[in-house]
């Protein structure tokens, strides 16, 4: 958005210099990206008098002029028809850069040297007249800089207006911000008009057939206008912001667009069929020629302005050739409307058109500013076009425009901003930018937002307004008072953090795989048809068949990671992964997300080295890993239990187990079947475990109970039982632990024997129990008595016998 300082000064007295004003605007949120002296290029363009004019010897239409610029004399070649002896004009010397970028250089024109140039208004950017050179007032002093002689002084700001501030896409909006900075008042232009006796209601009509796209449409008629060039002041205003003057009527609509931010359009009233305006959407495929003489193909959602027979403009974007203002126009219908921003944005984007009007409509215009801009245009057309204003206006507004009242708390404002506003101070700041503030009590205020502030919707928006008007640099630096609160760590985050640190400490590498898996993963793992992991959530638009399902287990991902590493000759690997699995629920429900941990170990227990030979890992390595991890996360006991035969078909029987704690299953572990590994091109032993972290979380504790080491000696006793082969060692360990003997410190299995002389179908299991007291030295007979009690219990419970 370009803004001229001299233009802004017509609405508000500006006390600051250009540089200070640029800083002030930036501090209130209107970033000034550049500030340029509009007439800086005129340094070196002088006031000169033509003292002699004679024909060019080699060109019929050119003349050689002698020019006096205050004692400095130049010979200039000129082709302007109005050049004459004695006239004052603008003389440009070599080295001058004109607004169009051209650099003037001394030149030879038909063998005659031209030492400068006599300039037209258009060449200097002071108007659109290029028919002849400028003729200056004869009272000006020769040799003066032209800008100084004509009192030309202006700074043009390039302001980056954010999308939420469409009210600042006009000079009045920026002037309003300056008034707020200075705590002064803005001077609005006079829009009072003198109306003729004719009534607009008898001459024209407006129908809105698409009220959802056009909440307001207003129109006025101005008759008997004369089309011609605009006066210098109007052309200068447009040129200062980069717009090209066309004629007085079109220039007025462009001037008001830049002044108020409200786009207008002028129609030739006599070219509107039935003198009617109809606002409706186009028919699909309609062809329409816009003002840039290009044919556009319209879609059914394009909002159009039509007359009684045809389309005459693309609403909010561009007018049509069939209703434009021409030199013969005498009767004008002025349009001032409010269109739906979404509708205009879609139309402009689809057609590839971006205009000053569409830029503003896309961001939203002030619905209450429609009539102000309309009256301003009618007054100027009467003044500058000699027209007469038809009495009345058409204001089609299908729905009442709601007012936005926002409550504001003084104490909350000061708390959030760290300020010390009084109610009066806060009221003054907001009223300086035209908010209406009504105190309710000592703390509360009711604030009515002006219609042009479409971005004000909640109390925090008003607080921001107060802060920026006060100046962010004036808000004292304060630290918030936050009472100390002991924060509780998220249990899910905590357990994953502990697992990562513990597993990494034991040489495991973390794998992070996609949550998507192969559509046939269940067949690869050999899952039974009724296995719950076969029911998966399908991806609607999968990248490939290998990533077409949401995973129900982490195992396929780890096996894929192992496959890739084995291909790189990494034969010994320890991997783990934490992540969610997705188990389908009812069709109308989202899947259940369960946090899981998967662990994989393959290769060696220890890497071969000078300290020993390579030792392959086995089931007890993965079991020990899970038990150690359980202690790390504060689980009291980790137990293993027999696994149902059809639970994990990808694990070897009798080399796999369920993982339990306090009689609840929390996972499984074991050695994988070779036939399951073959599709992954894995041909070595692989041990895995998978734990349900959500299920084991209630059994974890952040706080570990420390117990002092006993100062008294321990006593150990061994016993061997001959039991049925189907009895598991874990069952015996659990039975001993459940005996509740307080002196038992540890129970350790140290031998299993199944050969001769042990009877067929039986096995020998040997344990060592350590007894210790925390308070005294145990006597041998006490230990023997407890140990005998445990032996008798085991013999009876498992129908066992003692070896001979």
Query: What is the tens place of the pLDDT at every residue in 764-792?
Result: 999 999 999 989 999 999 999 999 999 99
DSSP string for residues in 718-768 = EEEEEEETTS-HHHHHHHHHTT--TTEEEEEEEEEE-STTSPTTEEEEEEE
pLDDT band at 380 (very low <50, low <70, confident <90, very high): very high
Distance separating alpha carbons of residues 502 and 587, to the nearest angstrom:
39
The set of residues, in sequence order, having a beta carbon less than 8 Å from that of 500 and lying 6+ positions away, is 510, 578
Say what the pLDDT of residue 484 is. 67
Distance separating alpha carbons of residues 223 and 270, to the nearest angstrom:
10
Per DSSP, 581 falls in state E
DSSP string for residues in 447-492 = EEE-TT-TT--SHHHHHHHHHHHH-GGGS-----------PPPPHH
Distance separating alpha carbons of residues 91 and 80, to the nearest angstrom:
13
Distance separating alpha carbons of residues 467 and 475, to the nearest angstrom:
8
| Greatest mean pLDDT range, 238-242, 407-411, 468-472, 489-493 | 407-411
Angle at which helices 341-351 and 356-363 pack, to 10 degrees? Answer: 140
Answer for the pair 659, 597: CB distance below 8 angstroms, yes or no: no
Sign of the dihedral through C-alpha 59, 60, 61, 65? positive
Return the SS3 of 64.
strand
Say what the pLDDT of residue 119 is. 93
pLDDT at 218 over 70: yes
| Cα within 13 Å of Cα(161), Cβ side | 21
Q: What is the 3-state secondary structure (H, E, C) of 185-224?
A: CCCCCCCCCCEEEEEHHHCCEEEECCCCCCCEEEEEEEEC
Dump pLDDT digits (tens) for 544-579: 888 899 999 999 999 999 999 999 999 899 999 999
pLDDT at 611 over 70: no
Say what the pLDDT of residue 194 is. 94
**Which residues on adjacent β-strands are paired with residue 748?**
768
Please give the distance of CA 799 from its chain centroid, rounded to a whole number: 73
Say what the pLDDT of residue 481 is. 65
The set of residues, in sequence order, having a beta carbon less than 8 Å from that of 797 and lying 6+ positions away, is 735
pLDDT at 682 over 70: yes
| Greatest mean pLDDT range, 202-216, 606-620, 717-731 | 202-216
| More confident of the two residues 170 and 110 | 170
Please give the distance of CA 745 from its chain centroid, rounded to a whole number: 61
Smallest Cα–Cα separation from 688: which of 569, 596, 615, 608? 596
Dump pLDDT digits (tens) for 343-357: 999 999 999 999 999
pLDDT at 703 over 80: no
Dump pLDDT digits (tens) for 630-650: 999 988 888 888 888 778 888
Say what the pLDDT of residue 546 is. 84
Per DSSP, 183 falls in state T
Domains and CATH numbers, the chain: 2-38+155-182 (3.30.56.10), 40-149 (2.40.50.140), 195-396 (3.50.40.10), 404-468 (3.30.56.10), 491-699 (3.30.930.10), 715-797 (3.30.70.380)
Return the SS3 of 649.
coil
Return the SS3 of 59.
strand
Q: Which of 177-181, 236-240, 347-351, 445-449 has the lowest mean pLDDT?
A: 236-240
The set of residues, in sequence order, having a beta carbon less than 8 Å from that of 596 and lying 6+ positions away, is 553, 554, 578, 579, 580, 581, 690, 691, 692, 693
Distance separating alpha carbons of residues 527 and 647, to the nearest angstrom:
8
Say what the pLDDT of residue 541 is. 87
Long-range pairs for 111-116: beta carbons < 8 A, 24 or more residues apart: 111/57, 111/58, 112/56, 112/57, 112/58, 112/64, 112/75, 112/77, 113/75, 114/75, 114/76, 114/77, 115/74, 115/75, 115/76, 116/67, 116/74, 116/76, 116/91, 116/92
Percent of the chain with pLDDT over 90: 67
For the chain, the straight-line distance linking the first and the last C-alpha, in angstroms and rounded, comes to 104
Please name the residue ranges forming H helices in 485-618: 491-505, 521-525, 555-567
Tally of CB atoms within 10 A around 178? 24
Mean pLDDT of the chain: 91
Long-range pairs for 703-712: beta carbons < 8 A, 24 or more residues apart: 703/634, 704/634, 708/774, 710/772, 710/773, 710/774, 712/772, 712/773, 712/774, 712/775, 712/776, 712/777, 712/778
Distance separating alpha carbons of residues 236 and 61, to the nearest angstrom:
31
Say what the pLDDT of residue 534 is. 87
In the predicted model, what is the mean pLDDT of residues 279-297?
95
Say what the pLDDT of residue 613 is. 74
**Which residues on adjacent β-strands are paired with residue 752?**
765
Strands 509-510 and 573-583: parallel
pLDDT at 252 over 90: yes
Please give the distance of CA 235 from its chain centroid, rounded to a whole number: 41
| Cα within 13 Å of Cα(227), Cβ side | 15
pLDDT at 606 over 90: no
Say what the pLDDT of residue 531 is. 83
Say what the pLDDT of residue 653 is. 86
pLDDT band at 587 (very low <50, low <70, confident <90, very high): confident
Instruction: Provide φ and ψ at 449, rounded to 5°.
Output: -75, 135
Return the SS3 of 717.
strand
Per DSSP, 779 falls in state P
Per DSSP, 269 falls in state G
Q: Which of 128-132, 157-161, 663-667 has the lowest mean pLDDT?
A: 128-132
pLDDT at 480 over 70: no
Strands 388-391 and 195-199: parallel
| Cα within 13 Å of Cα(45), Cβ side | 29
| Cα within 13 Å of Cα(530), Cβ side | 2
Say what the pLDDT of residue 649 is. 84
Say what the pLDDT of residue 10 is. 95
Return the SS3 of 225.
coil
Say what the pLDDT of residue 75 is. 94
Say what the pLDDT of residue 482 is. 66
The set of residues, in sequence order, having a beta carbon less than 8 Å from that of 485 and lying 6+ positions away, is none
Dump pLDDT digits (tens) for 442-457: 999 999 999 999 999 9
Token couple for 666: 């929390």
Distance separating alpha carbons of residues 444 and 635, to the nearest angstrom:
55
Answer for the pair 94, 105: CB distance below 8 angstroms, yes or no: yes
pLDDT at 284 over 70: yes
In the predicted model, what is the mean pLDDT of residues 669-678?
93
Say what the pLDDT of residue 129 is. 80
In the predicted model, what is the mean pLDDT of residues 423-443?
94
């Amino acid at each position: 958005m370009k803004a001229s300082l001299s233009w802004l000064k017509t609405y508000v007295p500006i006390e600051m210099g250009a540089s200070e004003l640029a800083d002030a605007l930036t501090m209130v949120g209107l970033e000034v990206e550049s500030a340029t002296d509009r007439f800086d290029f005129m340094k070196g363009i002088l006031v000169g008098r033509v003292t002699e004019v004679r024909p060019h010897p080699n060109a019929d239409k050119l003349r050689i002029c002698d020019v006096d610029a205050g004692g400095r004399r130049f010979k200039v070649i000129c082709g302007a028809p109005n050049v004459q002896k004695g006239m004052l004009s603008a003389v440009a010397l070599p080295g001058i850069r004109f607004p169009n970028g051209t650099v003037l250089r001394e030149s030879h024109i038909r063998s005659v040297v031209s030492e400068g140039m006599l300039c037209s208004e258009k060449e200097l950017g002071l108007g659109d007249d290029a028919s002849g050179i400028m003729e200056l007032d004869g009272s000006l002093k020769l040799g003066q800089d032209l800008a100084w002689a004509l009192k030309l002084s202006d700074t043009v700001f390039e302001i980056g207006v954010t999308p939420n501030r469409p009210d600042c896409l006009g000079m009045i909006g920026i002037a309003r911000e300056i008034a707020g900075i200075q705590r002064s008042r803005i001077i609005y232009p006079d829009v009072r008009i003198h109306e003729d006796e004719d009534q607009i209601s008898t001459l024209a009509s407006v129908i809105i057939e698409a009220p959802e796209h056009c909440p307001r449409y207003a129109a006025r008629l101005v008759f008997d206008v004369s089309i011609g060039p605009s006066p210098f002041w109007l052309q200068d205003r447009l040129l200062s912001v980069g717009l090209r003057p066309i004629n007085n009527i079109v220039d007025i609509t462009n001037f008001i667009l830049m002044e108020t931010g409200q786009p207008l359009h002028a129609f030739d009233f006599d070219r509107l069929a039935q003198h009617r305006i109809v606002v409706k959407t186009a028919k699909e495929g309609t062809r329409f020629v816009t003002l840039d003489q290009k044919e556009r193909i319209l879609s059914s959602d394009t909002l159009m302005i039509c007359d009684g027979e045809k389309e005459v403009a693309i609403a909010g974007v561009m007018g049509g050739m069939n209703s434009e203002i021409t030199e013969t126009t005498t009767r004008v219908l002025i349009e001032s409307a409010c269109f739906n921003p979404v509708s205009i944005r879609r139309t402009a984007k689809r057609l590839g058109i971006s205009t000053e009007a569409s830029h503003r409509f896309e961001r939203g215009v002030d619905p209450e500013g429609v009539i102000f801009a309309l009256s301003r245009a009618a007054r100027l057309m009467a003044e500058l076009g000699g027209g007469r204003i038809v009495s009345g206006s058409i204001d089609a507004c299908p729905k009442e425009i709601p007012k936005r009242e926002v409550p504001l708390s003084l104490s909350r404002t000061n708390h959030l901003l760290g300020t010390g506003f009084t109610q009066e101070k806060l009221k003054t700041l907001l009223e300086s930018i035209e908010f209406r503030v009504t105190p309710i009590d000592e703390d509360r205020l009711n604030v009515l937002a002006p219609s042009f502030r479409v971005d004000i919707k909640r109390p925090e928006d008003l607080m921001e307004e107060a802060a920026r008007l006060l100046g962010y640099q004036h808000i004292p630096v304060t630290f918030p008072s936050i009472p100390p609160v002991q924060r509780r760590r998220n249990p899910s985050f905590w357990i994953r953090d502990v697992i990562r640190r513990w597993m990494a400490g034991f040489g495991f590498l973390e794998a992070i795989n996609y949550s998507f898996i192969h559509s046939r993963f269940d067949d690869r793992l050999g899952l039974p048809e009724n296995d719950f992991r076969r029911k998966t959530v399908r991806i609607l638009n999968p990248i490939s068949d290998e990533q077409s399902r949401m995973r129900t287990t982490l195992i396929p991902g780890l096996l894929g990671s192992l496959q890739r590493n084995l291909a790189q000759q990494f034969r010994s690997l320890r991997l783990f992964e934490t992540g969610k699995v997705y188990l389908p629920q009812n069709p109308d429900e989202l899947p259940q997300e369960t946090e899981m941990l998967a662990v994989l170990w393959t290769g060696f227990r220890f890497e071969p080295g000078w300290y020993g030979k390579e030792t392959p890992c086995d089931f007890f390595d993965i079991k020990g890993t899970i038990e150690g991890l359980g202690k790390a996360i504060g689980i009291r006991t980790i137990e293993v239990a027999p696994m149902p035969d059809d639970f994990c078909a990808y694990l070897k029987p009798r080399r796999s187990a369920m993982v339990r704690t306090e009689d609840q299953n929390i996972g499984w572990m074991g050695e994988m079947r070779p036939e399951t590994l073959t599709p992954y091109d894995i041909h070595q032993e692989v041990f895995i475990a998978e734990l349900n972290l959500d299920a084991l979380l209630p059994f974890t504790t952040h706080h570990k109970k420390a117990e002092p080491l006993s100062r008294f000696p321990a006593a150990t006793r061994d016993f061997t039982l001959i039991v049925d082969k189907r009895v598991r060692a874990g069952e015996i360990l659990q039975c001993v632990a459940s005996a509740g003997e307080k002196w038992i410190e540890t129970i350790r299995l140290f031998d299993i024997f199944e050969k001769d002389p042990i009877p067929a179908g039986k096995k020998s299991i040997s344990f060592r129990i350590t007894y210790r007291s925390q308070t005294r030295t145990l006597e041998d007979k006490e230990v023997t008595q407890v140990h005998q009690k445990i032996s008798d219990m085991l013999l009876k419970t498992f129908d066992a016998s003692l070896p001979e």
